[in-house]
Amino acid sequence: MIKINQTFIKNFWPTFHNHGQNSHLKSFYTFTDYWRLWVLSVLILIATALLPLCLVTIIHYQLIQKSVDSELNLRVERLSSNATNAINFFMEERLDALIFTVNEIGYDKLTNKRKLDEIFKNLKLGFGGLTDLSVLDTDGNQINYSGPFNLEGKNYKNQAWFSESLGKKYFISEVFNGYRDLPHIIIAVRSVKPDGSFFILRATLDTERLFQKLTSYRTGDHADLFLVNNEGILQTPSVTYGSIFEQTHLILPKKSGNRKIVETPPKKTDLFISKHSFISTKIVGTPFILVVQKKKADMMHTWLDLRRNINWTVGISTVLIILVISFASTFMVNKLFLVDKAKAETMLQMEQSHQLASIGQLAAGVAHEINNPLAVINQTAGYIKDLFSFKDEPRNDEEILEYIDSILDSVDRCGTITQQLLGFVRQFDIKIKKVCLKEIIADVLNFHKKEAEYRQINVSTSFPDIIPEIITDKGKLQQILINLINNAFQSVDEGCSINIIVSWITMGTIKIVIQDTGCGIPEENLVKIHEPFFSTKQGKKGTGLGLSITYGLVKKLDGTISVQSTKDVGTAFTIVLPVKIQEKELG
Amino acid sequence: MKIILVDDEQKFINMLAKRLIMRGIQADIAFTGEDAIKKVRDTVYDAAVLDIKMPGISGIQLKKELKVIDSDLKFIFVTGHGVASKSESNMIEEDLYLSKPLDIEILIEDLNKIIKNG
């Protein structure tokens, strides 16, 4: 278990935070900020993964919302349509019965009390829903009455419905209390007496029956069905707005003139969906508007449940995606860091070994330089000894002094060389300081003096009038020059020349060109020469690191290096360096 | 025994020649390859002691040229490097080479050896 934990932590826990203890090592890393890399990787991956998920979720939401809305509308529509048809039919049936009665029976029989009772009885049996039946003359006098209330002889002239019904052939009234002081609806049919004057057959509708009809359509707790008149006054009780005759303050559609059933599309408010439809028979309109209301929130719980499920799924997926991406990124960046670290360590080692190699090369040269004067000392001292042991010649002090001078001279030569070497090697440690370019180039060339002589290589240097002094890391600059000058010496044949040209570019930058008339670099190799381990010195002393390290060193001195080369004509390396290096920690 | 010493280190071969002469060896000196060629053309030597690194003609090149003039000539190389480099040692593997600073007794011993063998 502990082992698994360790493996997990090693792979999926950021281990790149300890990066950068060694500033020299740091300079070899390909990426400098691993945290930034990690954050960038996590953000990009999360954005790529979550964006489509969020988009799909939003689209899904909208689709569901739409379908739920249309389902809701459909239900309200259906309910409204059914209820409207039923109410219409209820009204129409009774109106038709009344029209039939008037046309069939005639005024004389209708004014007969017994006959009217009989007709009323038959109507109640045949259709039901009627409370009473009466006949009125044009002055509003009730001529005949059949029904449970004691309304005989009442005059309706001053009642609103009477004057209205007198003006029309057919009439259906609002719900009102009237003389009986009970909510009722009047259906009136105007007809002509034998003498030519009008009379009215009036029936009272049983509102209770209407209420029941409406109630039968009320499905579930969330629906409310009721009738209002054009002024929005309740004609039947409503769950939401209270009992009959209450003002609803609903915004109602304007009553249209014709008798067709006018419907308004369902209105959506935050709380409910409502639909208004006019109740109208085929032959006459009514003052009623059927209102169907369905509470939205209650019907939405299916949708809300679904949404909760989607939210959970999306939420859990998001958390999972973020976790997986974070772990994967950490794993990736960890591996990258480890590889980069290994690379940096190898590069550092290589740089150090290359430094050792160049010091070794130097040492070989120095040994040669020292061995020559040593040989002179050896032979001169040997000769002096011989003078005493071989021939017992008289001492020629002058000659011996000359030989001793020769020995001292050679010792001086050795001393100079070792001093030079020490001074040179010591400078590898020294950090930023003022450097005289002329001196440093002369120092490096000093080590190749003999070689140049032996191989008859013409080495020339050229400096501008004001000899540049630059502030930089002397050790690094020295190594750059050693590497490039060594390369130049290795690539030229006898009798060729090496030119070192120093010139100003601007006040702040200086250019050093190391030019040789050697073998040149083939074009296909030019792009590769700064790559580590690329070498054409097969079987010779090439490690393939010289130029790659030189390139790194120049970069560390804030400079640039470029190369122009033509095969068999020669090569020129151009280094551009700032006169004053930026103050920073140099590796 | 007549030999020629070739080295650009003038003081070194001056002294060496003087000491060899003291020991009964006829030693001529030449400071450059060209000088040596001239001298070998004029005189017959038993052996040549050559410095490997010299301005102009190197010791190894000089050996080839001297061999053309006098095929019997024997060679001993002298080098300031502790060890001759790979390509150099290939060239001189059949010859003796001594490193600087050299011991005159060993040189004489080697000279005797190669001349006797020839």
pLDDT exceeds 80 at position A383: yes
Q: Report pLDDT for A159.
A: 83
Measure in Å the smallest separation between the Cα of B10 and chain A Cα atoms. 9
Measured N-to-C along each axis, helices A474-491 and A301-389 cross at an angle, to the nearest 10 degrees, of 70
Cβ–Cβ below 8 Å for B9 and A371:
no
Residues of A in contact with B60 (CB under 8 A): none
Q: Report pLDDT for A474.
A: 79
Task: Assess B90–A contact: CB distance below 8 Å, yes or no.
Answer: no
Q: Report pLDDT for A266.
A: 63
Our separate counts of H helices and E strands in chain B read 5, 5
Residues of A in contact with B23 (CB under 8 A): 390
B21 pLDDT tier (thresholds 50, 70, 90): very high
Cβ–Cβ below 8 Å for B11 and A380:
yes
Task: Assess B100–A contact: CB distance below 8 Å, yes or no.
Answer: yes
Three-state SS letters, A399-414:
HHHHHHHHHHHHHHHH
Q: What is the ipTM of this complex?
A: 0.83
Average pLDDT over residues A285-304: 79
Cβ–Cβ below 8 Å for B9 and A376:
yes
Cβ–Cβ below 8 Å for A379 and B56:
no
Average pLDDT over residues B7-14: 89
Task: Assess B104–A contact: CB distance below 8 Å, yes or no.
Answer: yes
Give residue-wise pLDDT tens across range A477-501. Answer: 888 888 888 888 888 887 888 999 9
Contacting B with CB below 8 Å, chain A residues are 364, 367-369, 371-372, 374-380, 382-383, 386, 390-391, 403, 406, 410, 450, 453-454, 456
Residues of B in contact with A371 (CB under 8 A): 80-82, 99-101
Give residue-wise pLDDT tens across range A112-167. Answer: 888 888 888 988 888 888 888 889 888 888 888 888 887 777 888 888 888 888 88
Cβ–Cβ below 8 Å for B12 and A372:
yes
Single-letter amino acid code for the residue at A121: K
Task: Assess B56–A contact: CB distance below 8 Å, yes or no.
Answer: yes
Cβ–Cβ below 8 Å for A372 and B55:
no
Say whether A3 sits in a helix, a strand or coil: helix
Q: Report pLDDT for A322.
A: 92
Chain A residue at shortest CA distance from B58:
A454
Q: Report pLDDT for A259.
A: 42
Among A409-413, A528-532, B16-20, name the most confident range. B16-20
Average pLDDT over residues A295-318: 82
Residues of A in contact with B102 (CB under 8 A): 375, 378
- Cα–Cα distance for residue pair A305/A369, rounded to 1 Å: 94
Task: Assess B24–A contact: CB distance below 8 Å, yes or no.
Answer: no
pLDDT exceeds 70 at position B99: yes
pLDDT exceeds 50 at position A432: yes
When CB atoms are compared, the residue of A364, A378, A390 closest to B81 is A364
Helices (H), A188-294: 207-217
Q: Are A201 and A169 in contact (CB under 8 A)?
A: no
Cβ–Cβ below 8 Å for A368 and B11:
no
Residues of A in contact with B55 (CB under 8 A): 453-454, 456
pLDDT exceeds 90 at position A382: no
Cβ–Cβ below 8 Å for B104 and A379:
yes
Residues of A in contact with B18 (CB under 8 A): 383, 386
Structure tokens, A7: 């493996």
When CB atoms are compared, the residue of A375, A386, A390 closest to B9 is A375
A198 Rama sector, left if φ>0, alpha if ψ -120 to 50, beta otherwise: beta
Average pLDDT over residues A267-282: 77
pLDDT exceeds 70 at position A535: no
Give residue-wise pLDDT tens across range A76-112. Answer: 888 888 998 898 898 888 899 889 988 888 888 888 8
A315 pLDDT tier (thresholds 50, 70, 90): very high
Say whether A62 sits in a helix, a strand or coil: helix
Pick from A20-34, A321-335, B86-100: least confident? B86-100
User: The CATH number of B2-117 is which of 3.40.50.2300, 3.40.190.10, 3.40.50.300, 1.10.10.10?
Assistant: 3.40.50.2300
A585 pLDDT tier (thresholds 50, 70, 90): very low
Burial (CB count <10 Å: 0-12, 13-18, 19+), residue A322: middle
Measure in Å the smallest separation between the Cα of B89 and chain A Cα atoms. 14
Residues of A in contact with B100 (CB under 8 A): 371-372, 374-375
Q: Quick one: which of B12, B7, B21 has its CA closest to B108?
A: B21
Element (DSSP H or E) covering residue B60:
helix B59-69
Q: Could you tell me the residue ranges of all domains in chain B?
A: 2-117
Measure in Å the smallest separation between the Cα of B94 and chain A Cα atoms. 23
Alpha-carbon separation of residue A429 from A368, A423, A425, A475, A575 (angstroms): 25, 11, 8, 7, 22
Average pLDDT over residues A7-34: 72
Q: Report pLDDT for A257.
A: 47
Burial (CB count <10 Å: 0-12, 13-18, 19+), residue A572: middle
Cβ–Cβ below 8 Å for A375 and B81:
no
Cβ–Cβ below 8 Å for B81 and A456:
no
Q: What is the pTM of this model?
A: 0.48
CB atoms within 10 A of CB B13: 26
Cβ–Cβ below 8 Å for A390 and B22:
yes
Residues of B in contact with A367 (CB under 8 A): 80-82
pLDDT exceeds 50 at position B86: no
Average pLDDT over residues A513-523: 83
Alpha-carbon separation of residue A382 from A303, A408, B76 (angstroms): 113, 14, 20
Chain A residue at shortest CA distance from B101:
A375
Q: Report pLDDT for A318.
A: 92
Cβ–Cβ below 8 Å for A371 and B104:
no
Residues of B in contact with A379 (CB under 8 A): 11-12, 15-16, 19, 101, 104
Residues of B in contact with A369 (CB under 8 A): 80
pLDDT exceeds 60 at position A182: yes
When CB atoms are compared, the residue of A379, A403, A453 closest to B12 is A379
Chain B residue at shortest CA distance from A381:
B15
Q: Mean pLDDT score of chain A, rounded to an integer?
A: 80
Cβ–Cβ below 8 Å for B16 and A379:
yes
Pick from A247-251, B40-44, B80-84, B86-90: least confident? B86-90
When CB atoms are compared, the residue of A382, A386, A406 closest to B11 is A406
Chain B residue at shortest CA distance from A375:
B101
pLDDT exceeds 80 at position A265: no
Task: Kindly state the percentage of chain A with pLDDT values over 90.
Answer: 7
Beta strands in A62-205 (DSSP E): 130-137, 142-146, 170-176, 184-192, 198-205
Give residue-wise pLDDT tens across range A225-261. Answer: 888 888 888 888 888 888 888 888 777 776 654 444 4
- Of the two residues A337 and A298, the one the predictor is more confident about is A337
Interface A-B: count of C-beta contacts within 8 A: 68
